Amino acid sequence: MTEAQVETKQFQAETRKVLDIVINSLYTERDIFIRELVSNAADALEKFRHQSLIEKIEFDAHVPLEIAIDCDDKKHTLTIADTGIGMTREELETNLGTIAHSGSQHFFKQLEEAAKKDVNLIGQFGVGFYSAFMAGKKVRVQTRPWDGSEGWEWASDGGGTYTISPCPGLHRGTKIIIELKDDAHTYASKFTIERIIQQYSTFVPFPVKVEGKKVNTVQAIWTRSKSEITDAEYNEFYKFIGTAVDEPLYRLHFSADAPLAINALVYVPRENFEILGMGRMQPGVNLYCQKVLIDQHSENILPEWLRFLKGVVDSEDLPLNISRQALQDNALVIKLRKVLTKRFIKFLNEEAERNPETYLEFWKTFGIFIKEGVTSDFEHRTELGKLLRFESSSSEPDKPISLAEYVARMQDGQDKIYYINGPSRAAVEYSPYVEMFKKRGVEIFYTLEPIDDFVLNHLGEYDGKKLVSADRADLSLPEATGDKQPETQEQAEPLTDDQARKLCAWMKEILGGRIQEVKTSSRLVDSPAMIVNVDAYMTSSMERILKASGQSEGLDMGAKKEMEINTASPLIKKLASLQESDPAFGRDVVEQLYDNAMIQAGLLVDPMEMVRRNYRILDRMAGEEPSTT
Ligand code: ADP
Ligand code: MG
């Protein structure tokens, strides 16, 4: 080959960074690079098998589908060859020169962190191929595409560049040749390689041969009967299919003959990688037909909110040669999705019943996906409602309960389910919104994530009972009945209607457009005032979400709020007299009441302005005679 045919190229900046991390921060558990390369080889074989179902392939048709690993302990090289789909020159450049998540700073931070914490996590980032540089000082990739077009060689020492040059005479597939680093010579030993394959890659659905000898057992575990499979086998398969190192939280293995022939084996992992900040997950369930992979990481076989599941779905009813595009609106696939989703929701409900502790663990890690389901999956919304868990005024901290539990202990005459959103249990418990609930002994859910109200709004009702936020302006609580009689406490004499009306009008004048109306409250017990929402959608929690995501500009939130005052509160009564005797000071008090109520509603106020005003009020307390007695 002439010099002119070798082209030198730069890695994309992000790729260089990944390489840097892979080469420099990963010293332990190097073994996993074998797993990554074998899994790529298996993917390439699956892709070829699928392609050969779609069209007749002439080139190299006789070459069997397998992975061959060879070691040379004199030259210290390791070669992993597959007879899979291969890569064109363009594919070599994009697949091995760039990475899919390009540009995300966050991504690299996470990768670096993960690499420090547990090197096994890097497989999850889809930077699998580059792990070859953990053990290799030089890596060469020789590849020829399935259609028989020209072959190419890609080579790099993991620095800033790689070369690409023509490579004639190859068979179909990809061969990775690794020149091992001085401290990695053990990977040229056949015993080491056999051990690693047995540990990580026993489930690869193609023969893996080390020095010509097949070392794995090819098996489709999901088609075997449950009673024959041991827990250890199930867990091994999970590790294989989910590129995981731990054990799954749940597994569901089920078969059905009607209405469709299905074999499914799905797992719930222990970690939620989206919460860990690694961006949106790829779906983790592969679709098979009679043990042939039809759609890897299938977007179609389950709804999006179930993307955290790992596993396999196999249905004999699907046509083998269906293309990925055709899967999207294939009636059978849609039916399969329905059956699987229903079955999985049912499974979760059963697990929640059987072992509530484990279910809470699931809820803490994956509850966010159930919530996503409630807002996005109309078809399963009602069923998903049963899976929701929230803390409540009667639950222990950190022990959220179901809507069913709440309904079971509702009071006679109560026909609604109440909830209130806030940043923490403590903040909610001492907010004015729950005062009357406490007094009347009515249970109320504490929704502690900003998204929760949005979710409950979508759900609308549960078991025929409307879901109502306690910061609604039009809230009416059931009268206390039966054994839940409130302690009778002497309420102070409230302002007269006239006095109240006059005070409300004055307060509204001071607060202007920030509030639609100031009203006498029928449900405040101790607090002097609170903010309530007029609109069912533009609520305080919605305002928080919009503000946090920078979308609140131009919204007139004041038009959606009212302020309620407690006309029996001593402070409000004093304020009424300040209106006459010292309106300037009274103004400060009104402003401060408003700010306090806003804070209790979880909304932001101008802190500088508030501090200045606060000092004026304190000054007065410290130095001056109060103007009323
Ligand atoms: P991932 O496997 O998660 O996509 P990798 O870094 O392991 O990420 O591989 C990057 C891409 O390179 C693969 O998606 C595939 O397109 C291509 N690739 C890697 N190894 C092979 C192979 N043996 N045969 C064909 N293509 C391959
Ligand atoms: Mg890979």
**Domain-embedded: residue 85:** yes
Residues 163 and 265 occupy one common structural domain: no
**Domain-embedded: residue 549:** yes
CA–CA separation, 467 vs 454, rounded Å? 11
Residues 48 and 149 occupy one common structural domain: yes
Q: Which atom of ligand 1 is nearest to the CA of 80?
A: 23
CA–CA separation, 359 vs 364, rounded Å? 9
The answer to whether 122 touches 26, Cβ cutoff 8 Å, is: yes
- E-strand ranges in 133-212 read 136-144, 152-156, 161-166, 173-180, 208-210
Residues 180 and 196 occupy one common structural domain: yes
The Cβ of residue 343 has, within 10 Å, a number of other Cβ atoms equal to 16
Q: What is the pLDDT of residue 102?
A: 47
Instruction: Mark residue 291 as left, alpha or beta (left: phi above 0; alpha: psi -120 to 50; beta: remaining).
Output: left
Sign of CA dihedral 57, 58, 63, 67: negative
Residues 475 and 329 occupy one common structural domain: no
Residues 420 and 287 occupy one common structural domain: no
In sequence order, what are the beta bridge partners of 421? 447
CATH number at 199 reads 3.30.565.10
Q: Length of the chain, please? A: 629
- Half-sphere exposure in the Cβ direction for 328 (13 Å, CA): 3
Ligand 1: residue of 11, 34, 40 to mutate (most ligand atoms within 8 A of CB) is 40
Ligand nearest to the CA of residue 297, numbered in listed order: 1
CA–CA separation, 557 vs 546, rounded Å? 11
Ligand nearest to the CA of residue 48, numbered in listed order: 1
Last residue in a domain, options 321, 342, 360: 360
**Domain-embedded: residue 603:** yes
Is the beta carbon of 85 within 6 A of some atom in ligand 1?
yes
Q: What is the pLDDT of residue 536?
A: 80
Per DSSP, the three-state class of 289 is strand
Per residue in 517-542, pLDDT (tens digit) is: 999 999 999 999 999 999 888 888 88
Residues 518 and 457 occupy one common structural domain: no
CA–CA separation, 82 vs 84, rounded Å? 5
Please state the φ and ψ torsions of residue 557, each to the nearest 5 degrees.
-70, -25
Residue 488 in this model has a pLDDT that exceeds 60: no
Per DSSP, the three-state class of 556 is coil
Residues 101 and 201 occupy one common structural domain: yes
Residue 200 in this model has a pLDDT that exceeds 80: no
Average pLDDT over residues 92-118: 72
Q: Whose CA is nearest to atom 19 of ligand 1?
A: 40
- E-strand ranges in 169-276 read 173-180, 208-210, 213-214, 250-256, 262-268
Residues 206 and 227 occupy one common structural domain: no
Residues 254 and 202 occupy one common structural domain: no
| Cα of 120 from ligand 2 centre, angstroms | 13
CATH number at 434 reads 3.40.50.11260
**Which of 108, 76, 103, 92 minimizes the C-alpha distance to 162?**
92
CATH number at 279 reads 3.30.230.80
Is the beta carbon of 128 within 6 A of some atom in ligand 1?
yes
Q: What is the pLDDT of residue 12?
A: 87
Q: Whose CA is nearest to atom 2 of ligand 1?
A: 40
In sequence order, what are the beta bridge partners of 417? 467
Judged by average pLDDT, the poorest of 203-207, 361-365, 514-518 is 203-207
**Domain-embedded: residue 142:** yes
The residue range of the domain holding 559 is 497-621
Last residue in a domain, options 345, 360, 375: 360
Average pLDDT over residues 440-450: 94
| Residue indicated by tokens 């069997």 | 64
Q: What is the pLDDT of residue 480?
A: 61
Per residue in 308-363, pLDDT (tens digit) is: 999 999 998 887 677 777 888 889 999 999 999 999 999 999 999 999 999 999 99
**Domain-embedded: residue 517:** yes
Instruction: Collect all residues with Cβ–Cβ distance below 8 Å to 552 and sequence separation of at least 6.
Output: 543, 546
Residues 192 and 98 occupy one common structural domain: yes
Ligand 1: residue of 129, 204, 281 to mutate (most ligand atoms within 8 A of CB) is 129
In 242-355, alpha helices (H) = 324-327, 331-354
| Range of 45-49, 135-139, 424-428 with top mean pLDDT | 135-139
CA–CA separation, 103 vs 98, rounded Å? 11
**Domain-embedded: residue 367:** no
* β 152-156/461-462 pair status: unpaired
What would the two tokens of residue 555 be?
């919204």
Strand order in the sheet with 517-520: 517-520, 561-565, 529-533
**Domain-embedded: residue 366:** no
What would the two tokens of residue 435 be?
């005062």
Q: What is the pLDDT of residue 107?
A: 67
The answer to whether 318 touches 333, Cβ cutoff 8 Å, is: yes
Identify whether 478 is preceded by a cis peptide bond (ω within 30 of 0).
Answer: no
Per DSSP, the three-state class of 216 is coil
Judged by average pLDDT, the poorest of 119-133, 291-305, 446-460 is 119-133
The answer to whether 422 touches 446, Cβ cutoff 8 Å, is: yes
Is the beta carbon of 95 within 6 A of some atom in ligand 1?
yes
What secondary structure does DSSP assign to 412-459, as a single string? TT--EEEEEE-SSHHHHHTSGGGHHHHHHT---EEE-STHHHHHHHHH
**Which of 422, 414, 350, 338 minimizes the C-alpha distance to 377?**
338
Last residue in a domain, options 322, 340, 360: 360
Quote the number of domains for the chain.
4
Q: How far is CA 608 from the centre of its chain?
A: 37
| Cα of 268 from ligand 2 centre, angstroms | 21
Cα maximum dimension of the chain: 102
The Cβ of residue 423 has, within 10 Å, a number of other Cβ atoms equal to 12
CA–CA separation, 192 vs 177, rounded Å? 17
The 10 Å CB-count burial string (b at 16+, else e) for 557-580 is beebbbbbbbbbbeebbbbbebbe
Supply the Cα-derived Rg of the chain in whole angstroms. 32
**Domain-embedded: residue 368:** no
Q: What is the pLDDT of residue 629?
A: 43
Residues 174 and 95 occupy one common structural domain: yes
Residues 203 and 267 occupy one common structural domain: no
Tabulate helix, strand, coil % of the chain (nearest 5): 45, 20, 40
Residue 483 in this model has a pLDDT that exceeds 60: no
Output DSSP code: residue 42.
Answer: H
CATH number at 507 reads 1.20.120.790
Per residue in 18-27, pLDDT (tens digit) is: 888 777 765 5
The answer to whether 147 touches 59, Cβ cutoff 8 Å, is: yes
